[in-house]
Structure 1
Amino acid sequence: MANTSYPASYYAASANPAPSRPALQDDVETDVCVIGAGYTGLSSALFLLEHGFKVTIVEAAKVGFGASGRNGGQIVNSYSRDIDVIERSVGPQQARLLGNMAFEGGRIIRERVAKYQIQCDLKDGGVFAALTAKQMGHLESQKRLWERFGHTQLELLDQRRIREVVACEEYVGGMLDMSGGHIHPLNLALGEAAAVESLGGVIYEQSPAVRIERGASPVVHTPQGKVRAKFIIVAGNAYLGNLVPELAAKSMPCGTQVIATEPLGEELAHRLLPQDYCVEDCNYLLDYYRLTGDKRLIFGGGVVYGARDPANIEAIIRPKMLKAFPQLKDVKIDYAWTGNFLLTLSRLPQVGRLGDNVYYSQGCSGHGVTYTHLAGKVLAEALRGQAERFDAFADLPHYPFPGGQLLRTPFAAMGAWYYGLRDKLGF
């Protein structure tokens, strides 16, 4: 069987030491079999183990191989569609439940880092940067909305204030969220995996789930073994393939690209981001960036619908970086990589149950670092018989992409082109 290693990213090159975990080669029994050792699977496993469940994780490649180990590393609150959009869609009662959970994921991350002493360069503070007066107006509305749900660690930044936190001349203002922040995402995943194992959980790497045998006692089959369980949690997200066809029809893998510069040195890094906050702009097709622990700039953006790997990632992202920071024109790019996230038509996560014992969460739509940690808690609650919060997500309406899988990529790309044009024209 092929051994799948991490992509050649900055995160893989700077990862904390981790054990090599064996592939599943036997028949094993467990309470819960989790498919996927990314944030959703690891968070679910941790919450279940803490409540006495026996948990086995099967991972197709390595812990954090997918989006969990490749993303921009930003702790961003709420969902890819904000609470006001949810409220218009489902009404005030369901929206209240979802709104009350919108800021929980970041707290869970911090609790995990502290409890299990995870070394992942955790820093507080995230900035939403406005490029136009209209975007600034949206941030003012967003602040009022989030404060309505008890989230108060927010500060609006005028043009003078945003210059104090980021050395970019493009922005007219912004909003600082001190409960946001950033982490080394792969090291967070590796630390959570070690925590899973410290509680007796078992993780098998290089063990893709190739078939789920559904029924009263479901079985997950891998190429060389099987896991018999009482419950299954499907947490493969954009790397699930067609393992569960009814989930694949309502989602689409998309690629995002990231680069990491050479180390900038303390002085230049401090000039760019004096408080070491992470930043994302307010465009529909947004750019995002932050400093690493060794003072590189991580810069990401762009979406490739259908998850093709671009031939030259640096050619796509470097011009975006230089537009924000022309002072980096002579800086070398040391790493460039791509990774997939899972997009839904509504841009809201899909959560549910297949039959009585197969649970799933997927489709973070680019907002996954915090949501996946919340999802793990919500899934664990549901398996323990506390389903109110699970049902609030499960009852969100979801639809297949127009034209099915054949046409979902061109339709999504057409929509992105339209919103990208709106970004450029400022309306």
Structure 2
Amino acid sequence: MTHTLPPTPTWKPTVYAKRQAQLAAIPEAWRLPNPPATPTPTPTPRSTDDILHEQEPDPLTTIRTSDILTAQELAWTETPDTTTLLAPLAAGQITSVQLTTAFCKRAALAQQLTKCLTEIFFDRALARAQWLDEELARTGQPRGPLHGLPVSIKDRFDLEGVDTTVGWVGLIDKPARKSSSIARLLESMGAVLYVKTNVPQSLMMSDSYNHVFGQSINAFNRQLISGGSSGGEGALIGARGSVLGIGTDIGGSIRIPAALQGLYSVCPSRGRVPWDCSFMHQHYMVPPVAGPMARSLASIEHFMASLLAAEPWTLDPGCIPIPWRTELAQKPATKKLRVAIIHDDGVVKPQPPIARAMREVERKLVEAGHEVIPWPATALHEEGTALWTKAILADGGQHCRYLCDIVGEPLIEGMVVGTEEDELSVEEREKV
């Protein structure tokens, strides 16, 4: 009896070519001799003890013992604060080429261990770093508050001449014609952009997996996920392949990966960080926001202060013209703070480590002399969740179906994508 194999989906050769191009962007000297395969999901849940006691080295250990980075490059990339690197960069004590090379090498290693990257453009980054070094030597002045600093960005932002696939096969080989406002602003502040980071197929999942680049995994344990949708950014920064990255958030997409990799982050109010995207990207009723991710609070504070000092509203009219007002965060001299705290919203019960952390926060606030007011769970929380979900699914999945149909790519199970029953009319959207 003859068995006929099913034909290869027409989109898979495109994915293969994209992955080969991605690998080719990593110099041979920066490649691990035997990179581990991406772990496959198990059919049944595994115990925490099994996961924590894996014999396979974690990504950080592998990177630190690979001998691909020099001792100086290891020290630079292990530095948690951008401010610690920016001072010697501005003084010419470190060149941008040196630092960019270090982070490019470490990002290449992180990619081989966590699948955190989408677009890799090291040559372009090093050319810009060289230009910044020459400008500093010529003028004696840094080119901005981020002069010479390598900065990573999520594959949600356009960079001229570079793909923004957002995890869709149908968007491969469609490079952006112009850069997003945040990319332009970062470069005007002196940053060196060198990589874009992985996302889930629809951007609507607290994981980062797609058919193009595969599954991003955790920087500390390869048996765990990195979160999403800014999961590639979280894994890259967690692996010290970036000291500062820009993610996006609509329902936890910055906050979840930051939590899973022990990072600091800000999911700001709408209009604080420049945000725009091309017509090929989905537009939601609930507006997403962009925000920084880093390994220290000082890095976050420096970025936000520098960004708003650059008056981004002159570049992006969607930004609100309000400076970074640190005085609002100063402790009142004559009165205590009044803080409301909710331990359980009645919709999702916090897991024990989160519940413990919340109790610890409450205790420390009380010990510091502040007034803590318990916030009761009501039906409003569940109602709010339902409204958010309705707004997110309002297009009935039309945009995702369109992107799938470009090449016949299947939709990945688990993505938060609407159906025809979820589609809302203009009138229904107004009511929501």
Which band: TM-score by shorter chain? Answer: under 0.3
Q: Highest CA radius of gyration, 1 or 2?
A: 2
Query: Relative contact order (C-alpha < 8 Å, sep 6+): which is higher?
Result: 1
Q: What is the TM-score normalised by the length of structure 2?
A: 0.24
